Structure 1
Amino acid sequence: MTEEVLEAVRQGRPHEVPELLGALEAAEREALPARLKAIRAEARGWGWEQGERRRRVRHALLVAGAGCHTGAAATASWIGARDLRDRQAPPHQLVLSVLRGRDPRWLGDVAHRLAGRAATAREDYPLIHGLVQRSGCPVPVADGYVHGWVDSVARKRVLGDLTADPQAPVLVPRLFRTAALSDWLVWQDGWVAALAGLPEAGVVTREVLVDGCVARLLRGGSPSEVRFLLELLRALELTEEEEGARTADWAGIAAHAPSASAAHAQAVLGRLAMAGGLSARQLAEVSSSVLFRAEKKLVRAQLVLVGKALRRDAGAAGELLPVVAEVFGHADTALQERALKLVGRHLDGVGPQVRAALADSAAVLLSPAHRAAAVEVFGALPEPEGPGAAYVELLPPPPEPRPLAPAAEGPELVEEVAALLHSFDPDAMDTERALDGLVRAAHDDPDALREALLPLLPGLWWYDGGLLEARHLRGAQLFAAALAGRVGLDELRLPPAAPGRGYCFHERLAHVPLARAREAAFRALTDPLPFLLATPTWRTGGLEPSVLVERLAAYRRLGVRPGTHDMAQALLRVRRTGPGVREAAQAAAARGPGGGGRRGGGGAVGPGGGAVGGSRAQAPPPRGA
């Protein structure tokens, strides 16, 4: 029977595995994991053309290994292994069937170990939940399990049943403590009403929901998360006592949270202040933080609130006006004017010491445009003292250009390429460095480069299929796909079709680096370049003329014809004004024909701008060149 189990696994028939395992003796099961690991190692080496077979074998391995391991840690490690998964959900029901009859405490241990695996717990929620039900163990509260529960509830699309969910009392408080709120929770309609109805049903208390929302707002979050939390707070309709009990929290949100959260907290604090729930000192402390914020809307609203508080209690001017005076230094002169008018209306309510401090603040902080108005409020103002006290209109210094680091090599290059392959929007200059490093490595030892890159490719959307069109890939992805044989030479040989009028300007601009990357990949497979000419020397994308002249001289010395698109982009990027340009032009002219133009090197122009019959460079210049 052992061989029958292994044959079912090799043939990728996971549905046959539970019955076959059930017929084995304990000793036979214990001997299976070692042989299953051998099949697992073999499957890792299968190419993209065996993708469907690999998926079925992975599922069969997952079921068989789960039923054969005896230790909870080993079982959870096997089930959660990334190399036994693919884009389809694992066969959770089959795994549950092979674990039938195990000790409940053992099942609970496996469930909690799986729930603690952040990478797979959300996907494995159906399996973990089934183990929890069988074992009767406590409900896991790890982030992945909480998100999986939200997914499960959301798919039912009947959120009113949340009151009958036995896990809700445990998991609802955890909704607000996860590293990020679940997408289903934030975007699916109905969650606010369902959660707001739980206290009345006795599932959780109001304090759990209110404290969870407030604590989450204090942490900050994305605009969609903030919107959801504020909607839930409004649906709960907090009483004045509930709002007053959290005064310190509202103050922290108003001071540091995103604008939407801060505006809500500001409104709550305003209601408390008008109801006498905030002392003058508390309002001054809150205002000191809010008036320091850059959002003009919040600053204006706080000045209005302070004005209302002063009309209600003129004796609070000594506490509040010094805080208002901080707005004299705000970048917006309209807010400076508003603060000056507010101080002027209530200046009679402060003593001589406070008045003098306010006048000093006005003299130092206010814009010169408001000095005349400040003199009307305070009388004569003290003149600024010190050599830098006089107001001078200055522009900020221009940013210093940063050089682009030389291309990486060896393991560092592989790490950078791995990051770019999995990046949705890679940085342009990081792509430039990596592309230059790939070109150099392909020139030195293309087989070693291919061997280093291949382990990075499984799992990428373009790797497991057939041949691709080059237009679907960019930069390092296109180069790696060409080395891995996913983009054919015929495809690379063709010049990329220029986007027509119907395309946006982003597509038209992307055509330029795409053509150059296609050319570099084609040359790497036919006549490798020692390095690229157009790699910028500055992170702004600029290329120093002296560097371009040296690179062209190295090409000429090595007998290499530049790539057409690479040379064209180098000429577009090279700096044409400023120091060193004339000297670089003279140096290029002194080198004679081929030292600084498009026509260096020997051999006819091949497809993609490559050199056919030209000599292959033996030693590229230093990476700083």
Structure 2
Amino acid sequence: MEHWDEIRKLIEERRADRLAGRITTLGAEARKEVATRLPGLLKELRGRSDRWDDSLVRHGTALRVAGAGTLGGAAAVASWLYRRDFAPQWAGPDNDVHLVLAVIADRPAAWRADLARRLALRTRTPDDRGMTLALTLLRETGVEPPPHDPLVAGWVSRRPTRLAADPLLGHLLPRLFEAQGAGRALRGEKEPDRGWLAALSGLAETGRVRRETLVEGCLRRFLLGGTATDLRFFVHLHEALDPSPEEVASRTRDYLRLLAVSPGPVATLAVRRLRGHDLTADDLAEAWDCLLFRQERVLVRAGLSWLDRSVRRDPALAGVAAAPLARAFAAESVELQARAVELALAHAGAMGAQGRSRVRESAALLAPHLADRAAAAFEEGHGTGTAPRPGPVFAPPPLPEPAEGSPTLPPPPASAEELAELLERRDDSWQSWERLLAGFVTLAVRDRVALTAALRPWLLGEPAWPYREETWERTDQWLWGAVRSLSTTGSGRGAWRTLMPSKDLAAPYVLLLHRAAEVLRAVEEDTLPPVLLATPTHETGHVAAAELVGRMEVVEAAGARPLAADLQQALLRLPRVPDPEAAERVARLTSAAGGILAGWIRPGGTAGAATGAAVEAEVELGWTTENEGGRDGTRPVPVITAPPTGLPLVDLMFRAPGHGAGAGHSGWWPSTLPSHREVAAAHLVPYTLRRSWDAPAAGPEQIRDLVRAEGPAGAAFSAVLARFLADPRAPEAVDALVEAAARDGLPTGEIGRQIGFLVTAGEVRVTDVAAALDTAARRGAHESVWRIAAAALPALLPAPGERPRNGLAGFVMLAATVAGWCGARGEIPQVRDMAARKGGSGLLREVRALHDLLTGGTAKKG
């Protein structure tokens, strides 16, 4: 008993260092007694713990040391060390490894080896809390590590100090090239003179590791596949090793296999190695065929350049080059098609009859003006006889039919258990948040005790530090505050009075925080209504008018009052389409809030411009130049004007966003204004061109929500869409453009003007815009793409004496292609004037071809 009293006191005083020393002096019986009493002490400490602090976690180190030194089996120790309640994942890496090792130092070797294996298998991520202890024990015991991918990822996540002497090197290095997650853990390693790149290269130079092991390991990893991120380190390692021509020659087949489907950086690496090596004609044909089938433009260009150089050096290769060139005629990029045509014409004489025939047949895959050019040249220049002139067989598909209506949002959780399950699998979407908030309010009113019991485990596992911040700038902080107040903890009462951020915030962000904060306040004051009004019924963010009226009826029947921000958000979510049934029912409401709602839902249609769901705000978008971070740049300046409604948060939403205003949950903003598309876009515009590393940027998911919203679409919507069309990392923007075109809601002229401005301002690149528009046109949006391109060209074409932008010839070529698909006619003055200039550059040729197509004539060439 005296041993336990001493141990208990040291645990309660959190004297882990003294505790470790004392445990090492205990005999077997004393250790058994401590092990028996530890669970009871843990339960007692948990009961004392205030859920607003982390006192139990602060006892964690002492508890871990006590359990490690006294529990009997290795399995029991492994489980004890990483209990969630006193060693949660968020608490950071272990800082007590030396203490744990000290108290188990006298255990049998087999026992420690068993613990090492168990701890290794428990790891799940490279930065797992138990990773350091597992790796240290594996090194000390010398036991072979179990085959476990996270262990390898954790090993390479540490700095490679004294790697040559690391006992784990022989075991884990071969697994490095196979373990999932290892490449991702090493993705930041790119400097050849430091870190793992330098360490492995150094081992190869000294002979500690065979070069062949590393080179073959990289190739094996490439052939196993993976994303560019997963393989980035191995690309850098391969290049740092710089395989010799002899090493490449012995692995030619492996490098050729990488060309077809490997991520771009891997395929680029293979091209670089193979181009410097003598390949047979069959191998060259295979390589070119693979590259010219790729979607990445840089690889297709590399393939065309390799083909051109090889055939110029050895014209006999023109015959095997014909088939790959014909494949390139089907490239999605008109620019690449044009380059393939140029090479086909340049090498046609050496192709032979069969090769020329193959190219001529494939000309039908080209854009119309390129097909005509290729067919004419082959017929007239190479005696192809009276073969029929191929017409373009590619016809863009029709636009997809827009979906009828909008999908409904799943209802909020109907029980405390469902709410706990939603917490378990929630994501960062506004849909999850809305369902979570609505379910919490309804269940808190219906059965407070059951809800508190269901959420208690989450209170125990939630870290306390976010709730000690001076202000709460995340909605989940307010929700957890409400959960804690619901459980009558009491130490956070009145938080809503002082924790609301006082700095300038974007209006949609303010609305979200006020909605979350007023739930906490209502819990503390016991004024929660039986149901929230603003919970969306549809995936667009709308609340059906009839459903909203029904919720207000429930609130009135309970003698309650709706929450203020919740009511204002509900009004902003009313659809524009009138609902006669809802208009009839709303007139029977008797409360003041019911009267406000009745003013927004009127018989015979939406309400007037001043008070209705269709409040018509005017949005203007200007641009200003400023110096940011030592560099001149552009800044969008949206201006929103609307008549006041008398509702403070609603009026705030129809006020122009301030420059530099704090933003949060920006992905949720379109759902706060689903009937006011242009206003929502105006709030997002300032965050589409922000450069600071911590600025929350609008993302492509907002584009989708804006497309599906209601209301006019103007300059703000167009600027946001144009910005993300030019982002190669945002293919969703192309999806949005196609969907908007199908819905006939695309302001094409304005989008083109915004593209022109963004390009001339240096914010986006012509090549990226052209790639996105090309893809959209081939998916059926060719008519919209033509109107966009026609509106952009006046700003993009260079003035006399001005240097044209990179990729502009390809953009003009794309414009000609979609104009041909649409049968577009009509002169564009800027195109006409440039077509009349002197010169024979590629850009001028494309401009003249476009002018001829639009006017049915021949451009005057200077």
Determine the structure 2 residue equivalent to 1:362.
Answer: 363
Identical pairs, percent: 33
Further displaced range: 284-293 or 368-377 = 284-293
1:201 counterpart letter in structure 2:
T
Instruction: Give the Cα–Cα distance (whole angstroms) in 2 for the partners of residues 370 and 496 of structure 1.
Output: 62
- CA shift at 1:198, angstroms? 0.7
Determine the structure 2 residue equivalent to 1:135.
Answer: 141
Alignment of 1:13-52 (within 5 A): 13-48=15-50
Deviations 1:190-213 (A, max 9, x none): 122222111122221112222333
1:418 counterpart letter in structure 2:
E
Query: In 2, are the aligned partners of 1:407 and 1:433 still within 8 Å (CA)?
Result: yes
2:462 counterpart letter in structure 1:
L
Instruction: Give the Cα–Cα distance (whole angstroms) in 2 for the partners of residues 397 and 5 of structure 1.
Output: 73
Query: In 2, are the aligned partners of 1:288 and 1:323 still within 8 Å (CA)?
Result: yes
Q: TM-score, normalised by structure 2?
A: 0.60
Determine the structure 2 residue equivalent to 1:260.
Answer: 265
Instruction: Give the Cα–Cα distance (whole angstroms) in 2 for the partners of residues 316 and 371 of structure 1.
Output: 24
Alignment of 1:118-267 (within 5 A): 118-119=123-124, 123-132=129-138, 134-138=140-144, 142-150=148-156, 153=159, 159=161, 161-181=162-182, 183=185, 186-187=188-189, 190-191=194-195, 192-218=197-223, 226-267=231-272
Determine the structure 1 residue equivalent to 2:514.
Answer: 515
Instruction: Give the Cα–Cα distance (whole angstroms) in 1 for the partners of residues 299 and 581 of structure 2.
Output: 55
Deviations 1:258-294 (A, max 9, x none): 333332222223223xxx23x3333333333333333
Alignment of 1:318-357 (within 5 A): 318-350=319-351, 355-357=356-358
Instruction: Give the Cα–Cα distance (whole angstroms) in 2 for the partners of residues 17 and 566 of structure 1.
Output: 54
Aligned to 1:412, which of 409, 413, 418? 418
- C-alpha distance 547-599 of structure 1, shift in aligned 2 (>3 A): closer
Query: In 1, are the aligned partners of 2:329 and 2:337 still within 8 Å (CA)?
Result: yes
1:538 counterpart letter in structure 2:
H
- CA shift at 1:146, angstroms? 4.1
Query: In 2, are the aligned partners of 1:17 and 1:64 still within 8 Å (CA)?
Result: yes
- Residue 376 in 1 paired to residue 341 in 2? no
Determine the structure 1 residue equivalent to 2:584.
Answer: 587
- Residue 490 in 1 paired to residue 494 in 2? yes
Query: In 2, are the aligned partners of 1:218 and 1:253 still within 8 Å (CA)?
Result: yes
1:113 counterpart letter in structure 2:
R
Query: In 2, are the aligned partners of 1:163 and 1:201 still within 8 Å (CA)?
Result: no
- Residue 391 in 1 paired to residue 395 in 2? yes
1:92 counterpart letter in structure 2:
V
Instruction: Give the Cα–Cα distance (whole angstroms) in 2 for the partners of residues 574 and 77 of structure 1.
Output: 53
SS at match of 1:330: coil
Query: In 1, are the aligned partners of 2:255 and 2:270 still within 8 Å (CA)?
Result: yes
- C-alpha distance 38-280 of structure 1, shift in aligned 2 (>3 A): farther
Instruction: Give the Cα–Cα distance (whole angstroms) in 2 for the partners of residues 15 and 495 of structure 1.
Output: 38
- C-alpha distance 530-493 of structure 1, shift in aligned 2 (>3 A): farther
Instruction: Give the Cα–Cα distance (whole angstroms) in 1 for the partners of residues 432 and 54 of structure 2.
Output: 35
Determine the structure 1 residue equivalent to 2:778.
Answer: none
Determine the structure 2 residue equivalent to 1:444.
Answer: 446
Instruction: Give the Cα–Cα distance (whole angstroms) in 2 for the partners of residues 567 and 52 of structure 1.
Output: 37
Instruction: Give the Cα–Cα distance (whole angstroms) in 2 for the partners of residues 471 and 197 of structure 1.
Output: 50
Instruction: Give the Cα–Cα distance (whole angstroms) in 1 for the partners of residues 372 and 597 of structure 2.
Output: 69
Instruction: Give the Cα–Cα distance (whole angstroms) in 2 for the partners of residues 283 and 443 of structure 1.
Output: 73
- C-alpha distance 585-39 of structure 1, shift in aligned 2 (>3 A): closer
- CA shift at 1:542, angstroms? 2.9
Instruction: Give the Cα–Cα distance (whole angstroms) in 2 for the partners of residues 223 and 391 of structure 1.
Output: 33
Note the aligned Cα RMSD (angstroms): 3.7
- CA shift at 1:129, angstroms? 5.0
2:113 counterpart letter in structure 1:
G
Query: In 1, are the aligned partners of 2:84 and 2:461 still within 8 Å (CA)?
Result: no
Further displaced range: 452-461 or 344-353 = 344-353
- CA shift at 1:499, angstroms? 4.2
Instruction: Give the Cα–Cα distance (whole angstroms) in 2 for the partners of residues 29 and 367 of structure 1.
Output: 82
SS at match of 1:471: coil
2:518 counterpart letter in structure 1:
E
1:299 counterpart letter in structure 2:
V
Instruction: Give the Cα–Cα distance (whole angstroms) in 2 for the partners of residues 99 and 42 of structure 1.
Output: 26
- C-alpha distance 123-418 of structure 1, shift in aligned 2 (>3 A): closer
Instruction: Give the Cα–Cα distance (whole angstroms) in 2 for the partners of residues 316 and 597 of structure 1.
Output: 83
2:98 counterpart letter in structure 1:
Q
Determine the structure 2 residue equivalent to 1:431.
Answer: 433
Query: In 2, are the aligned partners of 1:280 and 1:316 still within 8 Å (CA)?
Result: yes
SS at match of 1:232: helix
Instruction: Give the Cα–Cα distance (whole angstroms) in 2 for the partners of residues 488 and 300 of structure 1.
Output: 62
- CA shift at 1:373, angstroms? 0.7
- CA shift at 1:222, angstroms? 6.8
Instruction: Give the Cα–Cα distance (whole angstroms) in 2 for the partners of residues 394 and 111 of structure 1.
Output: 62
Structure 2 residue runs without a partner (length 5+): 380-386, 599-648, 651-862
Query: In 2, are the aligned partners of 1:413 and 1:434 still within 8 Å (CA)?
Result: yes
Q: TM-score, normalised by structure 1?
A: 0.80
1:12 counterpart letter in structure 2:
R
- Residue 302 in 1 paired to residue 303 in 2? yes
Instruction: Give the Cα–Cα distance (whole angstroms) in 2 for the partners of residues 473 and 127 of structure 1.
Output: 34
Determine the structure 2 residue equivalent to 1:291.
Answer: 292
1:117 counterpart letter in structure 2:
R
Query: In 2, are the aligned partners of 1:533 and 1:552 still within 8 Å (CA)?
Result: yes
Alignment of 1:519-534 (within 5 A): 519-525=518-524, 526-534=526-534
Instruction: Give the Cα–Cα distance (whole angstroms) in 1 for the partners of residues 449 and 319 of structure 2.
Output: 78
Query: In 2, are the aligned partners of 1:66 and 1:79 still within 8 Å (CA)?
Result: yes
Determine the structure 2 residue equivalent to 1:603.
Answer: none
2:495 counterpart letter in structure 1:
E
Determine the structure 1 residue equivalent to 2:743.
Answer: none
- C-alpha distance 62-126 of structure 1, shift in aligned 2 (>3 A): same
Instruction: Give the Cα–Cα distance (whole angstroms) in 2 for the partners of residues 576 and 296 of structure 1.
Output: 44
- CA shift at 1:51, angstroms? 5.3
- CA shift at 1:479, angstroms? 1.6
Further displaced range: 335-344 or 164-173 = 164-173
Determine the structure 2 residue equivalent to 1:96.
Answer: 101
Instruction: Give the Cα–Cα distance (whole angstroms) in 2 for the partners of residues 393 and 304 of structure 1.
Output: 32
Query: In 2, are the aligned partners of 1:561 and 1:599 still within 8 Å (CA)?
Result: no
Query: In 1, are the aligned partners of 2:57 and 2:85 still within 8 Å (CA)?
Result: no
- CA shift at 1:452, angstroms? 1.5
2:434 counterpart letter in structure 1:
E
- C-alpha distance 495-8 of structure 1, shift in aligned 2 (>3 A): closer
1:377 counterpart letter in structure 2:
A
Query: In 1, are the aligned partners of 2:481 and 2:492 still within 8 Å (CA)?
Result: no
- C-alpha distance 488-92 of structure 1, shift in aligned 2 (>3 A): closer
Query: In 1, are the aligned partners of 2:258 and 2:267 still within 8 Å (CA)?
Result: yes
